[in-house]
Amino acid sequence: MVKRTFDLIVAGFLLLATSPLILLGGLAVKLDSAGPIFYRAKRAGRGGEPFGMYKLRTMRVGQ
């Protein structure tokens, strides 16, 4: 229980600390090209179970 609480606190802090960089990256993507800033990608999780995650788009739409 202590490790889980510690992990959540650290993850929350890191999310707050890096959010300005993510916002700047999203703004750069939006200004540079049309299309969505984020896209949903499927990955294999624990036991091979697929899950969806959101990623910052780094390529132009149609490439």
Q: Using 50, 70 and 90 to split pLDDT, how confident is the model at 61?
A: low
Is 30 inside a domain boundary? yes
Percentage of the chain modeled with pLDDT above 70: 95
How deeply is 25 buried, as exposed, middle or buried, from its count of CB atoms within 10 A (0-12, 13-18, 19+)? middle
% the chain with pLDDT above 90: 71
Is residue 63 a part of any domain in this protein? no
Residue 12 forms part of a structural domain: yes
Its pTM stands at 0.65
Task: Tell me the residue range of the domain where 18 lies.
Answer: 2-56
Residue 40, pLDDT score: 93
Q: Rounded mean pLDDT of the chain?
A: 91
Q: How many domains does the chain have?
A: 1
In order of 2, 10, 32, 61, 62, the CA distances from 35 in angstroms are: 42, 33, 10, 6, 10
